[in-house]
Amino acid sequence: MSSLLFALVACGDKDNTGNTDDSSAVDVFAELIYVSSEPTAESGVALGDCYGFDGTWESQTPDSACAVDVEFSGEVVDFESDKPVPDATLEFYYSDLFEDGEDDFSTTSDASGLLDGTLKTCTPTTYRVYTDPALEDTKVTIQAHEVWAYSTEPLDVEFNSVSTTTYSIIPSLLGISVDPAAGIIAGTAYGCGGDGDPVEFSQVIVRPAAGGDYYPSQEVRYFRDEFPNRDQEWTSEDGLWVAVNIPPGRVTVEMWIWNGSEHVLAGTTDLDVIADSINIANIFTGYEGGVVYPESCLSCE
């Protein structure tokens, strides 16, 4: 879990020029999507096996009978230290859209960070974790597109929380000013249909979900061996990426890959970004929107 945290301490020079002031940039896409490294079988990126780059997205048909309520028990843990987080509120949004309105389920962890309740399997869910804002112990942490596999037995689940201490080191170690009116998005780029293998040689960029220009304020970083590297210009074998200073609202994160002759849109994920918070969403090659169902949700097995 701490690997995504390390994304927040990468350097601020995304164009390798030593200049972090992007106020004069006129083409955000060209600035962020420029790597011409062709995916190969040796790199572990067999894109043709799941997405032919013909503009047709892969699709799944989950069995509605697999969406059942099951009991769960688990804990809220700190994103960096793995220590339990007491008195943390957990909220489920079964629409997979976070809003400041009514949640579908909520509970609070005890003094040991433990909690329990009921969740809905095979249902794309956004969850939010936070503690008492007055105590300033944690930042709001939001995970989009969580899909729990079909089960009739109780599940053991872990939920992440980011501490205020961790968040506060971002400005000095990242090398940029983090706008508290904006949000941070972190995630993993996955290969064919969410098979569990991260995808290499991809780059990400963020725009409003309704379309329009890419955000000029965004800063995107990548990793090498699950650690941020200032020379890493695309996702490495770990598939990890982070985008900083994303305006609040519904956004689309696009994953682009060079196919040997051009950059091709290979996957997207949509989510609601909340200001002054950590927002987590993954991207799956060949899929639009970021939701991929486990096999058990397709046949209730």
Residue 290 has pLDDT above 60, yes or no: yes
Domain boundary among 166, 195, 224: 166
Residues 101 and 147 in one domain: yes
Domain boundary among 142, 166, 190: 166
Residues 226 and 280 in one domain: yes
Sequence-ordered strand ranges (E) for 84-147? 89-93, 105-108, 114-120, 125-130, 138-146
Residues 56 and 68 in one domain: no
| pLDDT (0 to 100) of residue 8 | 47
Residue 225 lies in a domain: yes
Residues 37 and 104 in one domain: no
**Angstrom distance (rounded) from CA 274 to CA 170:** 17
How many of the other CB atoms lie within 10 Å of CB of 189? 29
Instruction: Determine the distance from the C-alpha atom of residue 95 to the mean position of all C-alpha atoms in its chain, rounded to a whole number.
Output: 17
Which range of residues forms the domain containing residue 79? 64-166
Residues 199 and 117 in one domain: no
Residues 81 and 144 in one domain: yes
**Mean pLDDT to the nearest integer, 57-66:** 93
User: Which tokens belong to 285?
Assistant: 């090659």
Residues 184 and 96 in one domain: no
Residue 295 lies in a domain: no
Residue 125 has pLDDT above 90, yes or no: yes
Instruction: Determine the distance from the C-alpha atom of residue 42 to the mean position of all C-alpha atoms in its chain, rounded to a whole number.
Output: 26
Tokens 């060949």 locate to 286
**Mean pLDDT to the nearest integer, 145-167:** 93
Residue 299 lies in a domain: no
For 223, what's the count of Cα atoms within 13 Å in the CB-facing half-sphere?
A: 24
93, 103 Cβ separation under 8 angstroms: yes
SS3 176: coil
| pLDDT (0 to 100) of residue 224 | 78
Structural domains in the chain (count): 2
**Mean pLDDT to the nearest integer, 126-138:** 94
pLDDT digits (tens, 9 = 90+) for 92-117: 999 998 766 789 999 999 999 999 99
Residues 68 and 161 in one domain: yes
Residue 106 lies in a domain: yes
User: Which tokens belong to 276?
Assistant: 């002054």
Residues 29 and 113 in one domain: no
Residue 11 has pLDDT above 50, yes or no: no
Residue 173 lies in a domain: no
**Mean pLDDT to the nearest integer, 46-59:** 60
| pLDDT (0 to 100) of residue 169 | 73
Residue 291 lies in a domain: no
**Mean pLDDT to the nearest integer, 162-168:** 84
Residues 234 and 90 in one domain: no
| pLDDT (0 to 100) of residue 195 | 63
**Mean pLDDT to the nearest integer, 132-138:** 92
Return mean pLDDT, the chain: 83
Distances, alpha carbon 223 to alpha carbons 5, 219, 239, 280, in Å: 11, 14, 8, 16
Q: What pTM was computed for the model?
A: 0.86
CATH number of domain containing 235: 2.60.40.1120
Task: Look up residue 203 and give its amino acid.
Answer: Q
Residues 135 and 193 in one domain: no
CB-based burial label for 134 (10 Å; 0-12, 13-18, 19+): exposed
Residue 70 lies in a domain: yes
Residue 190 has pLDDT above 50, yes or no: yes
pLDDT digits (tens, 9 = 90+) for 229-267: 667 788 888 899 989 999 999 999 999 988 777 788 989
**Mean pLDDT to the nearest integer, 7-28:** 46
Say what percent of the chain tops pLDDT 90.
Answer: 55
Backbone angles phi, psi at 31, to 5 degrees: -75, -30
Residues 98 and 34 in one domain: no
Residue 159 has pLDDT above 50, yes or no: yes
CATH number of domain containing 160: 2.60.40.2190
Residue 174 lies in a domain: no
Sequence-ordered strand ranges (E) for the chain? 69-78, 89-93, 105-108, 114-120, 125-130, 138-146, 155-163, 183-190, 202-208, 219-224, 227-228, 240-246, 249-258, 263-273, 277-280, 283-284
Backbone angles phi, psi at 102, to 5 degrees: -80, 130
